[in-house]
């Protein structure tokens, strides 16, 4: 089975500052990795995913994450955040050989003006 | 891209009644769908894996008779919360698609 640890439950940051949301995973098999964003009272929106190939993946709204196998990490970064980035962010992992996805506890990103 | 539709988005029911939540894959066929539950300010917990044409696989601690899952077609899975109680109030969300990473918009269930 897989598991995910999101090291920070809350991350406050000022607008236009850089941010990193940390995610570490544990698995005995190769994995797929995901970041989701959830706005209040809404479902999950896929932000980006790592399935294979390049270890650096990017989203259309400026976020990026890098798969680091040796450190079992998949940290999410953005060089300059906006107020609208305020939301809950979930890291998730799924093993190659199974169907279910395991989520981290979530990180609440709050962008202040 | 893959789209998963979930209905209803919100439902309020009386204690003791049953509620059915639908999860549909709109532009693809899904032999497997997943049901999750999310408590306020918490992460998502996998409840069960829904398999088309066969029985669902439930995670440990999830009551099969309480949360009935039916996956009768390749585009529809349903979750029925039977004899609902206030403690069943939660946000329920399904997923499907390649790698299982496309989620529906969720259903907010409130049992009064």
In angstroms, the Cα distances linking A68 to A7, A16, A31, A48, B108 are 16, 26, 12, 15, 36
* Contact criterion met (CB < 8 Å) for B106 and A100: no
Banded pLDDT at B56 (limits 50, 70, 90): very high
Mean pLDDT of B21-34: 92
Residues A45-52: contacts with CB under 8 Å, at least 24 apart: A45/B103, A46/B101, A46/B102, A46/B103, A47/A76, A47/A89, A48/A76, A49/B99, A49/B101, A50/A74, A51/B99
- Report the alpha-carbon distance of residue B51 to residue B32 in Å, rounded: 5
* Contact criterion met (CB < 8 Å) for A104 and B43: yes
Instruction: Using CA coordinates, name the residue in chain A closest to B98.
Output: A99
Give A100→chain B minimum CA distance, Å.
Answer: 7
Query: Which of A30-34, A99-103, B49-53, B66-70 shows the lowest per-residue confidence on average (mean pLDDT)?
Result: A99-103
Selected for mutation to probe chain B from A8, A101, A102 (highest B CB count within 10 Å) is A101
Contact residues on chain B for A41, CB-CB shorter than 8 A: 108
Give A95→chain B minimum CA distance, Å.
Answer: 9
pLDDT score, position A42: 83
Has residue B5 got a pLDDT over 90?
yes
**Alpha-helical regions (H) of chain A:** none
Q: Are strands B19-25 and B76-81 parallel, antiparallel or unpaired?
A: antiparallel
pLDDT score, position B95: 92
* Contact criterion met (CB < 8 Å) for A106 and B93: no
Query: Who among B43, B93, B100 is closest to A43 (CB)?
Result: B93
- With a cut of 50, list the residues of chain A below it in pLDDT: none
The sign of the dihedral angle between the CA atoms of B103, B25, B2, A41 is negative
What tokens does B88 get?
Answer: 């069943």
Q: Are strands B107-111 and A31-38 parallel, antiparallel or unpaired?
A: unpaired
Give B45→chain A minimum CA distance, Å.
Answer: 7
pLDDT score, position B107: 95
Has residue B40 got a pLDDT over 90?
no
For A82, which DSSP code? -
Mean pLDDT of B19-30: 93
Mean pLDDT, chain B, integer: 92
Has residue B97 got a pLDDT over 80?
no
Contact residues on chain A for B95, CB-CB shorter than 8 A: 101
Give B105→chain A minimum CA distance, Å.
Answer: 4
């Amino acid at each position: 089975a897989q598991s995910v640890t999101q090291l920070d439950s809350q991350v406050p940051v000022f607008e236009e500052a850089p941010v990193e949301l940390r995610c570490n995973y544990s698995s005995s098999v190769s994995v797929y990795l995901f970041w989701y964003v959830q706005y209040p009272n809404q479902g999950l929106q896929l932000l980006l995913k790592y399935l294979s190939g390049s270890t650096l993946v990017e989203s259309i709204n400026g976020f990026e994450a890098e798969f680091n196998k040796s450190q079992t990490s998949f940290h999410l970064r953005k060089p300059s955040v906006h107020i609208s980035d305020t939301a809950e962010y979930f890291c998730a992992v799924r093993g190659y050989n199974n169907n279910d996805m395991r989520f981290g506890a979530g990180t609440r990103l709050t962008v202040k003006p | 891209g893959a789209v998963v539709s979930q209905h209803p988005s919100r439902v309020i029911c009386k204690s003791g009644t049953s509620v059915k939540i639908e999860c549909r894959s709109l532009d693809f066929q899904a032999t497997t769908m997943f049901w999750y539950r999310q408590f306020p300010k918490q992460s998502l917990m996998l409840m069960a894996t829904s398999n088309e044409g066969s029985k669902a696989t439930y995670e440990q601690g999830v009551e099969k008779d309480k949360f009935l899952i039916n996956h009768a077609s390749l585009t529809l899975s349903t979750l029925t919360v039977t004899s609902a109680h206030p403690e069943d109030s939660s946000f329920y969300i399904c997923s499907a698609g390649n790698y299982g990473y496309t989620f529906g918009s969720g259903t907010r269930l409130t049992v009064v």
